[in-house]
């Protein structure tokens, strides 16, 4: 991997291991790198400990989504999903446990998979991608149980509300659909661009990121502003004045952390104000991940259009960067 490839690398996805000591990151060349967080965070860390302990090519296309279950790492790329066990990856064994592909209707072109999430109540994997549908796969048997149709354009982001057993999906068609897991029907459809306060018609209507926290949902688009919605009443409560498109957001304690276009991580309060914008290395960020699996490695990592992944041990400033 020469310096030119490093220059053009973008990190699209991240996932922490279930023990919290390792971070897997996927880039646009189809590679996955596993970093050891415990050695990078230890007091006697050197530059070598900030390099991956393992880098391998997982897919032919970019790895847009990575997800960790209790024992496996699932990665989505080139229209297929592969699974690796974390135990084997830590031992530097890169043989995939299984590789599956959802039943796409057309066999001519393979739609990419943009988002994956796990529905814990039914132990199933929900996949959304370029064929405008959500595919649900049972994790134990590996069978693709059902297909949820309703979006008219491809799906960018997914989220699951465990308590109400609902799946939320946001897509290029500007609609956020709420699906009921049991019936497989779209319960609600919110067309965000139709709400005047949120919409930014100059950017279009597509939804780029979506995340939920019990009764509340934060979504942002390439189109609409980053806004906080109350799900029971399906109404927008606060709009955050962030310019550009936000590509990933998450709820953390009493704040919303969001990354996107712009060389910073935005900290927003639920009331609608942007509390802080912390600068970081990549010029534009694609992914944000919080390590909640471990108490001593509780860090925030962000990656974007750079071969470096910034690590924040304290949310207020960048501690150091891991490099591919």
Partner 1 sequence: MGAVTDDEVIRKRLLIDGDGAGDDRRINVLLKSFIKWCHATGSPEEGFTQHQRMLGTLAQCEFSMGKTLLVYDMNLREMENYEKIYTDIEENITSAHDKISECKKEIQRAKRIRKNRQEYDALAKVIQQHPDRHETLKQLEALDKELQQLSHIKENVEDKLELRKKQFHVLLTTIQELQQTLENDEKSENDDNQESSMENGE
Query: What residues make contact with partner 1 under the rule CB under 8 A?
Result: 215-216, 228, 230, 233, 235-238, 253-254, 269-272
165: left (phi over 0), alpha (psi -120 to 50) or beta: left
Please report how close the Cβ of residue 268 comes to partner 1 at its closest, in angstroms: 10
Spatial contact of 70 and 17, defined as CB atoms under 8 Å apart: no
Q: How far is the CB of 238 from partner 1 (least distance, A)?
A: 5
Note whether 266 and 218 are within 8 A (CB): no
Smaller CB separation from partner 1, 202 or 253: 253
Total residues belonging to the chain: 324
Instruction: Answer for the pair 96, 106: CB distance below 8 angstroms, yes or no.
Output: no
Q: Report which secondary-structure segment, H or E, holds 6.
A: helix 3-7
Euclidean distance between CA atoms 173 and 130, whole angstroms: 12
- How far is residue 174's CA from residue 117's CA, in Å, rounded to a whole number? 20
Least distance to partner 1, CB of residue 240, Å = 12
What's the min distance (Å) between Cβ of 164 and partner 1? 17
Q: In the complex with partner 1, which residue's Cβ is closer, 105 or 232?
A: 232
Nearer to partner 1, 24 or 220 (CB): 220
**Least distance between partner 1 and beta carbon 316 (Å):** 14
**Nearer CB in complex with partner 1: 120/272:** 272
Residue number with CB closer to partner 1 (12 or 251): 251
Residue 264 near residue 276 (C-beta atoms within 8 A): no
Nearer to partner 1, 201 or 271 (CB): 271
Please give the Cα distance from 186 to 177 (Å, whole number).
6
Q: How far is the CB of 269 from partner 1 (least distance, A)?
A: 6
For partner 1, the closer of residues 169 and 212 by Cβ is: 212
Find the shortest distance in angstroms from Cβ 160 to partner 1.
20
Question: What is the residue whose two structure tokens read 């390590």?
Answer: 291
Task: Write the CA distances from 167 to 161, 177, 281, integer angstroms.
Answer: 6, 8, 34
- Report d(CA 128, CA 121) in Å as an integer: 19
């Amino acid at each position: 991997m020469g310096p030119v490839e490093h220059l053009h690398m973008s990190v699209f996805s991240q996932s922490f291991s279930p023990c919290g000591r390792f971070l897997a990151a996927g880039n646009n060349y189809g590679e996955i790198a596993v970093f050891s967080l415990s050695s990078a965070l230890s007091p006697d860390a050197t530059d070598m400990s900030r390099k991956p302990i393992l880098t391998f090519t997982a897919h032919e296309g970019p790895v847009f989504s990575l997800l960790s279950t209790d024992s496996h790492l699932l990665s989505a790329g080139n229209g297929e999903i592969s699974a690796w066990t974390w135990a084997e990856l830590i031992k530097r064994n890169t043989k995939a446990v299984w590789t599956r592909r959802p039943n796409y209707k057309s066999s001519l072109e393979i739609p990419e998979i943009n988002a994956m999430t796990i529905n814990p109540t039914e132990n199933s994997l929900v996949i959304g991608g370029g064929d405008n549908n959500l595919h649900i796969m049972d994790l134990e048997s590996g069978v693709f149980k059902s297909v949820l149709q309703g979006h008219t354009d491809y799906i960018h982001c997914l989220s699951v509300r465990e308590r109400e057993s609902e799946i939320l999906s946001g897509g290029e068609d500007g609609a956020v659909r709420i699906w009921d897991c049991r019936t497989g029907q779209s319960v609600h459809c919110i067309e965000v661009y139709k709400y005047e306060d949120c919409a930014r018609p100059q950017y279009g209507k597509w939804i780029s990121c979506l995340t939920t926290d019990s009764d509340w949902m934060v979504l942002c688009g390439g189109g609409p502003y980053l806004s906080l919605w109350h799900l029971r009443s399906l109404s927008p409560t606060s709009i955050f004045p962030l310019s550009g498109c936000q590509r990933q957001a998450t709820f953390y304690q009493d704040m919303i952390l969001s990354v996107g276009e712009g060389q910073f991580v935005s900290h927003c309060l639920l009331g609608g104000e942007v509390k802080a914008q912390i600068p970081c290395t990549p010029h534009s960020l694609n992914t944000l991940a919080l390590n909640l699996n471990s108490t001593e490695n509780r860090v925030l990592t962000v990656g974007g259009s750079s071969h470096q992944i910034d690590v924040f041990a304290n949310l207020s400033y960048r501690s150091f960067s891991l490099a591919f």
